[in-house]
Chain A
Amino acid sequence: MPNYKSHANGSRKAQSGLVSFGFFVLSVIALYLPAPSQDEVASLLRGSLLRPFVLAQEGLVRRGIHAADTEVLQRQLDSLEVVIANSNTLSEENGRLRGLLTLSNRNPAQYVAASVIRSGTPGSESMFMLNKGTRDGVTNDSPVIMGRGLLGRVLEAQATRSTAMDWTHPQFAVSAMTEDGSIYGLVQASPGRFRESDRLLLDGVPFQEELEPGVTLVTSGLGGVYPRGIPIGVVIEGSDAQEGWKRSYWLRSFVSPGEATHANVLVSQDGELRESNSWSEGDSVVPGPATLPEESASGIRNTEASTRQ
C-alpha cells in the first residue's frame, strides 16, 4: 500500500517538524527566562547530572595543591612567619594606642579557604565555583580574595558550594580609592580584544585629581559589598574612555583570574564583618576614613549594589 506508507511518512515528518519547532521555542524561552529561573535551572543541572564532573575537578584541584612544590611552600611559610613576627609588635603598639584613645577593638576578619573550579564551557568565562557554601559562612556577595588582592565576589551561595564571578565579568564594579583615601572612583571591568587582554578601568576620578602610574587602589567600602582596604590593582596609564570633567585610568589587577586555583572567601557573621571595614586588619593598607561628598557616596553604593544578581 504505497499511498498509505507515504501518508504515514508524511505525517511522521510533520510530527517531527512540530517537535523540533517545540524545542526551538523552548530554547528561545530559555534565552529570555528571568535571571532567577535561569539560575535555578543551571543550579539543578550542576547539582545533578554534572555533579560527578564537578566533584572530579574538586578532587584534582585538591591533589594539585597537595602536589605543589614543597620548597615553594616552605619559602612562603618562612615569609609569612617573618610578616607575623613583625606584625606582632605593630599589633601590640596598635592595641596600646587604641587603648589610649579608648577605641574598641576591631573584629578580626574571617576567611574560608576554598578551591576554585572553572567549568571551561562556552559562556562561563568570568565565573567559577567554590567548594564552600553557606554551611561554611559564605553568603551571596561575599568577596573572594586571592594572593595579593581582590579576585571577585560570590554570586550565589548554596549549602556546600558557591558560584562566583571574577573581575573580568562585565557586571563587576567596585568602589575604589587610593591607599591614602584621598581620591575615589569606580573600578569596572573593561573587556579586551581577547580574554587575556581584559583590564580594569577606574572611572569617575575628579578632573583636578591626577594619578601617577604605579599608584595602588584599594576597595573603599562605600558600596556595601566589598569591605574597605582590599587591594585591587595599580594604575598603568590614563584613559580617554570617559570625557568631560572626570578622568579615567587603566589598572593592572593584582590578581590574574586564570591563575586562581585556590582562594579565600571573606565570610561574615550576621553582616557584622562586612560593615566593620575590617579586611585591612593586620595589613594596615589604609589609614583613617576620608571624607567624601554624600551624593558621591550614595551614587557609588547604588552602582556597586546594582551589580548584584
Chain B
Amino acid sequence: MRPPLRIWGVVGFLILLHFGLHLSLGLSESAPDLLVVALLIAAKEVDIGRGAGLGFFLGLLDDAFSVLAFGANTFAMTLVGMGGARTRDLFVGDSLFFLTTYLVLGKWMRDFLHWVAVGEGLRESFVDTMLIQSPISAVYAGVVGLVVIAISGLGWETVR
C-alpha cells in the first residue's frame, strides 16, 4: 500500500514545478511536461471520475495561456486522466516496462488528443508533430517520470 500523502505530495510538487519551469522560467519545450507526469501518477491511484476531474482541472490551468485553442488541453488531459485511471482495472503490476510504456504512451496520447482538438486551421502536420516532436517529448517525460518515481520512493520496487 502506497502512502497517499506521499503520492499527493509528489503530484503537487510536480504541478508546481511544471508551472515554475514553463511559466516562471519560460523554459517552454526544453522543460518536460510534468503536468502529464503528475496526472499519470495520480490517475493510477484514483477512480475514473477523480482521474477525469484532476485531468480537467490541470488541463484548464494549461489552457489559461492558450488563446489559439482554448479547451484543447482540457479535453486532452481529461481523457488522459480517464484512461490512466482505467489502466488500474486493466493491468496489474508495476514493472519497469509497464511504467515506461504507461508514461510514454500517456504523454503521446495527450499530444495526439491535443492535436486533434486544436482544429484543422491551427494544427501542424501529423508527421512533424505526432511522429517527430511528440515521441521525443514523450520519451523525455517518460524518463523524467521514472526518475521522479524512483527518487520519491512511491513503492515501485522494480524502478529503484
Interface residues of A (CB under 8 A from B): 12-13, 15-20, 22-24, 26-28, 30-33, 35, 38, 41-42, 45-46, 49-50, 53-54, 56-57, 60, 117-127, 155, 163, 165, 169-170, 191, 193-194
A120 touches B66 (CB 8 A): no
**Which chain B residues border A50 with CB–CB below 8 Å?**
19, 23, 61, 64
B53 touches A193 (CB 8 A): no
A119 touches B22 (CB 8 A): yes
Question: Contacts A16-B50, A57-B26, A60-B25 known; A122 to B125 CB distance under 8 Å?
Answer: no
B52 touches A42 (CB 8 A): no
**Which chain B residues border A18 with CB–CB below 8 Å?**
49
Interface residues of B (CB under 8 A from A): 19-29, 31, 33, 47-53, 55-56, 59-75, 77-79, 81-82, 85, 114, 117-118, 121-122, 124-125, 128
A/B pair count, beta carbons within 8 Å: 168
B67 touches A23 (CB 8 A): no
* Cα(A24)–Cα(B76), bound, Å: 10
Question: Smallest CB–CB gap between B11 and chain A, Å?
Answer: 16
A46 touches B64 (CB 8 A): yes
Contact of B66 among A122, A155, A191 (CB under 8 A): A122
Question: Contacts A19-B52, A23-B56, A42-B65 known; A123 to B73 CB distance under 8 Å?
Answer: yes
B125 touches A193 (CB 8 A): yes
**Which chain B residues border A53 with CB–CB below 8 Å?**
19-20, 23-24
A31 touches B20 (CB 8 A): no
